[in-house]
Amino acid sequence: MYTAKDLANWFLAHESMTPKKLQKMLYYAYAWTLTLTNEKEDDLSNKLFPEKFEAWVHGPVVPEIYQEYKGYGYTNIPKCESESEIDIDNKDIKSILDQVMLVYGKFDGNDLESITHQEEPWKEAREGYGPLDSCSEIISDETMYKTYIKRIA
């Protein structure tokens, strides 16, 4: 298992991006790893990293990653030097990360925020909260799995 910071470094070794986009890239990497490496929703032991996503106003957020990069605001975090890139030694995980870059990497942070706002995991965690209400509800791994497995079944 990796850490969210490991994966943030992996994404930032590939391109410069805003903190918002980085959060959403981490979210989709986590969600698709959860979906593609587990057999059923009641045994989700394969996870990309241990940190959890909270359903914030602007979409899924790992608070530790937010704290790390919040100083960049709406500007791009510089691309990391390749030496800081984590070596992804699991070929299945590497393939998922490459696919996430290919599919979601073409969008900016605002586009990805809009996409996550239309999906069940974020909406379910935000239930009962207004659009601008602060929220630290955890986005359910089970709901992520159930949502994304439908796209490949």
Extended strands (E) in 3-81: 54-56, 59-61
Mean pLDDT by 10 residues, the chain (153 residues): 93 96 98 96 95 98 98 95 73 96 97 98 97 96 97 84
- Beta partners for residue 17, in sequence order: 77
Cβ atoms of 66 and 26 closer than 8 Å: no
Domain count, the chain: 1
This prediction's pTM: 0.95
The domain of 23 spans: 4-149
Chain position carrying tokens 């709406």: 74
Q: What pLDDT, on the 0 to 100 scale, is given for residue 85? A: 63
Q: What pLDDT, on the 0 to 100 scale, is given for residue 82? A: 63
CA angle 152, 53, 112 (to 5 degrees): 60
How far does the chain reach from its first CA to its final CA, in angstroms? 26
Residue 53: count other Cβ atoms within 10 Å of its Cβ.
27
H-helix or E-strand spanning residue 112:
helix 109-117
Q: What pLDDT, on the 0 to 100 scale, is given for residue 88? A: 87
Cβ atoms of 52 and 117 closer than 8 Å: no
